[in-house]
Amino acid sequence: MEMRRLAEEHLRTKLLPFWKRMRDEKNGGFYGYMDFDLNVDEKAQKGCILNSRILWFFSNAAMVLKDPSLLEYADHAYRFMMEHCIDREYGGVYWSVHYDGSRADATKHTYNQAFAVYALASYYDATGKKEALLQAYALMELIEGKCTDEIGYLEAFDRSFSPVENDKLSENGVIAEKTMNTLLHVFEAYTEVYRVAKYKLAAERLRFMMNVIAKKIYNPEKRRQEVFFDREMNSIIDLHSYGHDIETAWLVDRGLKVLGDTEMEGKLSPITRALTARIYERAYVDHSLLNECERGVDNTSRIWWVQAEAVIGFYNGWQETPEHTEYLAASEDIFRYIMENLVDPRADSEWYWELDQDKKPSSRKPIVEPWKCPYHNGRMCMELIKRAK
């Protein structure tokens, strides 16, 4: 199957035109909400995570497709971030702003800071604008100064960085002080900073996070990552997040390549191999990936981002261990499932949020909202363009 050609075609003809249309010419940035019926709410709040991911998307698409015209959209997202999402008084990035850019939810979350760092590093790579890199450095130093302890990363804070309950990154009926998800995306962001600028702090903290993954997050008996933790990094729920595990496998492999540390490679590569193998065995069902397993019960919804990460994760697994041709077959199979079922065929839409076991939309969840973005599916396409022959 010509995944590379199909991925590029999908990126050029479906994803990029859709997100270009979400540009808010009047108030800046991009509209923050489109419902299932494709109605855009022009006065919805604009999630700062969504804006960061759009900035990342257009910056990388411009580089991968060698299309400088896309930088106009990256510039648009960058201006909105710098003018409205960053708190000039207390530092850091807000959780959300109103449609006109005024402050809405002033929560400072480590996850949100990480995505701004990730986007700014990519934008610097695409444009060479040093101010973007300096802002990424400033946010990293803020994370390290206000959002860490000796064990890992603290997560939720009010505007002035006093700790608050971590309800935004907690699910499944628990409130977690620390999460695998937040650490993963700090790791991803610092990988990008080290890739584009070889910033020493990024390398030091990447090694720290790899040790946290190996010693605290990865469960060798179950060959999975734990998800939600107390402050001391004790797991607080029996939960296996299939999408996060396959995403972690390839993101950690990428981090190892960028860092070039053979000692860390010896420690983490066996973990990424085990995660890939376990997800293939446990969650790859009926041409797609199950969502998660809580207390032994599978959630069988096919979530948009989980499928996108599975395509990259299995393709990466095959590249790292070419004898496992079943991973390549799985990547191709899930890609086909996405194209035939998860992509919304309506002309002015993008992907459905989730499908049921009958491959039908299982809810009327929105097409765009603070978490529904071009990051996972756009990255799937761009990784295939770079990796596939």
Domain span at residue 60 reads 3-387
Rounded CA separation 381/374 (Å): 10
Number of domains in the chain: 1
Could you give the CA distance from residue 306 to residue 328 in angstroms, rounded to a whole number? 17
At 26-56, the pLDDT tens digits run 999 999 999 999 999 999 999 999 999 999 9
Distance of alpha carbon 183 from alpha carbon 200, whole angstroms: 19
Q: Read off the CATH number of the domain in which 38 is found.
A: 1.50.10.10
- pLDDT value at 389 more than 70: no
pLDDT in tens, 72-94: 999 999 999 999 999 999 999 99
For tokens 């790899």, name the residue: 210
pLDDT of 171 = 87
**pLDDT tens per residue across span 367-384:** 999 999 999 999 999 999
Say if residue 356's pLDDT is above 90.
Answer: yes
H-helix or E-strand spanning residue 239: strand 239-241
- 57 contacts: CB under 8 Å, gap ≥ 6: 19, 373, 374, 375, 378, 379
pLDDT at 388 over 90: no
- Give the pLDDT mean for 151-158: 97
d(CA 361, CA 370): 20
- Is pTM beyond 0.85 here? yes
